[in-house]
Amino acid sequence: MVRSYNDELKFLEKLTANKWRIKKGFVANMNVEGVFYVNNALEKLMLDELRNACRSDGVGGFLPGIKQIANVAALPGIVGNSIGLPDVHSGYGFAIGNMAAFDMDDPTAVVSPGGVGFDINCGVRLLRTNLSEKDVLPIKEQLAQSLFDHIPVGVGSKGVIPMTALEMEEALEMGVDWSLREGYAWAEDKEHCEEYGRMLNSDPSKVSMRAKKRGLPQLGTLGAGNHYAEIQVVEEIYNKFAAGKMGIERKGQVCVMIHSGSRGFGHQVATDALKAMEKAMSRDKIDVNDRQLACARITSQEGQDYLKGMAAAANFAWVNRSSMTFLTRQAFAKAFNQAPDDLDMHVIYDVSHNIAKIEQHVVDGREKTLLVHRKGSTRAFPPHHPLIPVDYQLTGQPVLIGGTMGTCSYVLTGTEQGMTETFGSTCHGAGRAMSRAKSRRNLDYQVVLNRLEEMGISIRVASPKLVMEEAPESYKNVTDVVDTCHAAGISAKCIKLRPIAVIKG
């Protein structure tokens, strides 16, 4: 029976100005409650999506985000809450911007590829430079073109970093260590990577030949969709001490942000795992509310195989972002006729926002080992956490929040409150507000390009339709998203960045 919108609202409770609760009973079989973080503007988007779903069959083929958060709360072995971050929107199985943690000591606990996403270890890397905006503006167009020429972009783009099948196997196992060995990375790059750029449980033998064939030609490629490389300038510094630790000293300082993932390789790993898990669910009699939440017991063969294959895809993504860092350093060196280290092109940090990882967290006063799924959600560990680099022990982990084409991006830092409330997790970006198809129908290519030009943003794009799909109107307001996380205390604002040039697939 389909409930009316007013009946649905009876299961939702506003706890604070920025936090809502989803009570048990909102969907069947909830093991824990759901929560989601929004401000007034984002709240309206979330509730409108639910209201529209009460009138029709879901949102563009997906259930509304609130329903998806609740369905995740019904998965076996979940602890705490199923959590929706402010950028949450409908996705495959899990909402994008939904995180959930599962008790490794519970034999029924599951791992779900839908809780990681198809683009495994899609993530963001931020490089700083010692350049100022005034240094870049006279050659901005040439620099944008140089980046576009150096980094292959678009669907099916082929990489310029040569790689044999044997080297691919090594890269899948070694992650950034492979890039270091091959001369594509600096030693400090590894220190400033989540997991130090290498998941140790990777096992390339658990990955299909089809995935490896798809990945082999794609190393050092940006891909399409919402992926980009952006030249940005520092617009605001909210926390001078933390920014200083990151090497950000002044407004107008130039940075480069790279947003990309594991390309066709990760997509194939996810597709293969979903097929295997449907069989495992039938064998182990695992019931889920939505078949897109295909999962397997963490301890099962299928669960372990997926985690090892996912780790290989995560390593591929770190090698990929390292390769694009190498190409970016080359592009800047060529444009300014200076060596990259003379330009101070250091990696501030590299975060993943599509991943599942084994972590220690306190649940109901007891420390537990959990499998934390973050899909469209970023790890945000607090100061003094043992898993963040020495450089950031006093500030908390840098959290990189990419905006949309033409809007600002942010660097946040992790907080103790985030550790307690959201398993050390926060938002990842703006989050879509309009489907890709609707964006193409409603927005005009030339209008969007003209507006970017008026804002002083140079753009190089491989596919014109992407300009509409990725236009700011297609997304929630990233400032609303970040301000909500800051107000809720789950992460803290540190730096605001403004784009001056962007390259996209």
Known binding-site residue numbers for GMP? 226-230, 353-354, 402-405, 409, 428-431, 504
Q: Give every CB contact of residue 36 below 8 A, 6+ residues apart in sequence.
A: 19, 20, 22, 46, 65, 66, 69, 83, 84, 85, 86, 88
Beta bridge partner(s), residue 366 = 363
Contact at 8 Å (CB) between 155 and 223?
yes
Q: Rounded to an integer, what distance in angstroms lies between the CA atom of residue 299 and that of residue 280?
A: 12
Helices (H) and strands (E) in the chain, counts: 17, 19
Which candidate in 89, 267, 373, 428 is catalytic? 428
Residue 196's alpha-carbon distances to 11, 187, 404, in angstroms, are 42, 10, 27
CA atoms within 13 Å, Cβ hemisphere of 497 = 29
- H/E segment holding residue 137: none
428 is catalytic: yes
- In the numeric block, which tokens belong to residue 277? 């898990």
3-state secondary structure of 12: strand
Q: Rounded to an integer, what distance in angstroms lies between the CA atom of residue 66 and that of residue 89?
A: 9
Contact at 8 Å (CB) between 119 and 267?
yes
* Radius of gyration for the chain, computed over Cα atoms and rounded to the nearest angstrom: 21
3-state secondary structure of 492: strand
Annotated binding site: 119, 122, 226-230, 259, 353-354, 402-405, 409, 428-431, 504
Q: Give every CB contact of residue 201 below 8 A, 6+ residues apart in sequence.
A: 307, 308, 311
Q: Which stretches within 206-339 are classed as H helix? A: 209-215, 240-245, 263-284, 301-336
Residue keyed to tokens 């092109």: 345
- Angle of the 301-336 helix axis to the 140-150 helix axis, nearest 10: 140
Residue 352's alpha-carbon distances to 99, 199, 345, in angstroms, are 13, 12, 20
Count other Cβ atoms within 10 Å, centred on residue 291.
Answer: 11
Count other Cβ atoms within 10 Å, centred on residue 363.
Answer: 13
Long-range contacts of 385-393 (CB under 8 A, 24+ apart): 385/414, 385/419, 385/424, 387/359, 388/414, 389/191, 389/192, 390/191, 391/191, 391/192, 391/245, 392/245, 392/246, 392/349
DSSP letter for 363, please: E
Q: Rounded to an integer, what distance in angstroms lies between the CA atom of residue 358 and that of residue 310?
A: 13
Q: Rounded to an integer, what distance in angstroms lies between the CA atom of residue 500 and that of residue 505?
A: 17
Contact at 8 Å (CB) between 321 and 190?
no
Of 89, 99, 114, 55, residue with least CA distance to 434: 89
Angle at 353 between CA 117 and CA 488, to 5 degrees: 120
> Which residue numbers are catalytic?
428
